[in-house]
Structure formats: structure tokens, C-alpha cells
């Protein structure tokens, strides 16, 4: 865009910052973030701050990302706090994860994804009692996990998919392709790690058997 003298906009910098986050380019991400205001006179929006939280969290850890959030010119929204919560899973920072989760629930008490993210943080750190407690809180709040959804545009037509969705007219072909890809991954040595799920099921069976007797849970462990 610079070579063609095309002026970038807010959406351009969201894409660039996300790219920097995914490949771990801390210095480049910070440079582009500052270029927005110093060179292109664009005021960063919440989406850009969320990208920076992700960049700093992945590169320097949740504590640095938390400092950045506290320096923002406006209050962080639920998306930014959930971004920080996701980083805590990678870095296994339970303290910051609990702070981020409490802030999300303060802004959106009915957000079930917070319990799932926090549960994953506990699971990564081997805190199985906390995993069970978090799942129990989710059940008590009658919250259901929202199904994962994705979209793709093919020849100007938008296609949407839910987890386990077989409504699409070409679902048979899509699942066959997915199975082929999974088989190819396994052939190269990939094996899904299900040990944490087994551990969780055993612990819940021992500690919550009486409490959950007769209750049909609608919560499934996210993969």
C-alpha cells in the first residue's frame, strides 16, 4: 500500500497488528501502532488496543499486557479482557486470569465463554479442583456454551458453519475432506492430547457424584 500510495485506514491496521501478533513481531507491532497516530493521524480504537494486548501478552506475558490495559485512554471492554484471559492460558498465569475473568463478568454476567476460558487456564496449570468448581458455577448459573461458528465467502456467497453442523448441502463432502486431513495429520505423527479430559472426568466423578446425581448436564468440555 505504501508503494502504491494507498492510504491505510483503521481496518488496515487491525489486519497488520493481528498479523504481527500471530507471528510474534513485538517491535513491528508496536511500531505500526504508533504510526497510526504519529504518521497517519488515526486514533486507535478498541480493536487496535485488543491487538496490542495480544501482542504484548504473547511476547512479554500477561503482566505487561495488564499494564498496557491500565494505561489505555478509556475503559477496556469485555473483548479486551477476554483477549488477556486467553493469553493467560498460554502463559499459565492464574492470578491475572482470575482478574480478567472477573472484569468480563462485571461487564457481561451472562458470558459463558469466560467460564470455559478460565477452566482451560486452570486445566493447563493442573488445578483440577478449580476446573471442577468453575464448571459447577457454570451449571448453577444455567449457562450454556455457545456453539463455535465460522464463515467463509466463496464466489460472493457467504457460508456459515456451526460445530457439528450437517445442514449445509455439501456437508458430506466437507466432512470427508476433514476426515482426510485428520488422517493425514495422524499419519505424520499427530495425536490429540485427551489426558486432561480423562483426569477431569475422574475427579468430577469422585467429588461431585452426589451433587450432580439426577442432573443432566448440558455442558461439554471444549476441545
Query: What's the chain's average pLDDT?
Result: 81
Half-sphere exposure of 46 (CA within 13 A, CB side): 10
Q: How confident is the model at residue 159 (pLDDT cuts 50, 70, 90)?
A: confident
Q: What is the pLDDT of residue 27?
A: 95
Q: Residue 21: exposed, middle, or buried by beta-carbon count in 10 A (0-12, 13-18, 19+)?
A: buried
pLDDT value for 152: 79
Q: How far apart are CA 140 and CA 116, in angstroms?
A: 14
Nearest-angstrom CA–CA distance, 145 and 135: 11
- Higher-pLDDT residue of 214, 62: 62
Residue among 174, 153, 154 at smallest CA distance from 164: 174
Give residue 210's pLDDT. Answer: 35
Provide the residue ranges of all domains of the chain, joining segments of one domain with +. 1-109
**Report for 52-56, 108-112, 189-193: range of highest mean pLDDT:** 52-56
pLDDT for position 115: 87
Overall pTM surpassing 0.85 (yes/no): no
Statement: residue 175 has pLDDT above 90:
no
How far, in Å, CA of 53 to CA of 81, rounded? 9
Give one DSSP letter per residue of 139-188, joined into a string: HHTT--PPPPEEEEEETTEEEEEETT---STTHHHHHHHHHHHHHHHHHT
Q: Which CATH architecture has domain 1-109?
A: Alpha Horseshoe (1.25)
pLDDT attached to residue 160: 79
- Say what the pLDDT of residue 192 is: 65
For cell 494507498, what's the residue? Answer: 6
Q: What pLDDT is recorded for position 147? A: 61
When pLDDT is cut at 50, 70 and 90, the band that residue 145 belongs to is: low
Amino acid at each position: 500500500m505504501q508503494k502504491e500510495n494507498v492510504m491505510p485506514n483503521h481496518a488496515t491496521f487491525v489486519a497488520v497488528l493481528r498479523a504481527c501478533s500471530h507471528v510474534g513481531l513485538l517491535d513491528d507491532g508496536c511500531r505500526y501502532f504508533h504510526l497510526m497516530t504519529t504518521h497517519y493521524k488515526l486514533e486507535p480504537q478498541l480493536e487496535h488496543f485488543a491487538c496490542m494486548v495480544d501482542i504484548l501478552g504473547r511476547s512479554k506475558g500477561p503482566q505487561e499486557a495488564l499494564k498496557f490495559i491500565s494505561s489505555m485512554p478509556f475503559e477496556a471492554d469485555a473483548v479486551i479482557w477476554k483477549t488477556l484471559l486467553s493469553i493467560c492460558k498460554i502463559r499459565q498465569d492464574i492470578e491475572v486470569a482470575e482478574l480478567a475473568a472477573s472484569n468480563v463478568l462485571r461487564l457481561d454476567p451472562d458470558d459463558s465463554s469466560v467460564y470455559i476460558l478460565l477452566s482451560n487456564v486452570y486445566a493447563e496449570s493442573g488445578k483440577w479442583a478449580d476446573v471442577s468448581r468453575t464448571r459447577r458455577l457454570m451449571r448453577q448459573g444455567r449457562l450454556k456454551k455457545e456453539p463455535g461458528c465460522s464463515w467463509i465467502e466463496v464466489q460472493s456467497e457467504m457460508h456459515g458453519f456451526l460445530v457439528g453442523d450437517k445442514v449445509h448441502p455439501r456437508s458430506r463432502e466437507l466432512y470427508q475432506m476433514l476426515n482426510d486431513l485428520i488422517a493425514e495429520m495422524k499419519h505424520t505423527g499427530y495425536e490429540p492430547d485427551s489426558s486432561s479430559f480423562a483426569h477431569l472426568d475422574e475427579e468430577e466423578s469422585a467429588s461431585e457424584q452426589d451433587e450432580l446425581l439426577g442432573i443432566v448436564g448440558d455442558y461439554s468440555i471444549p476441545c
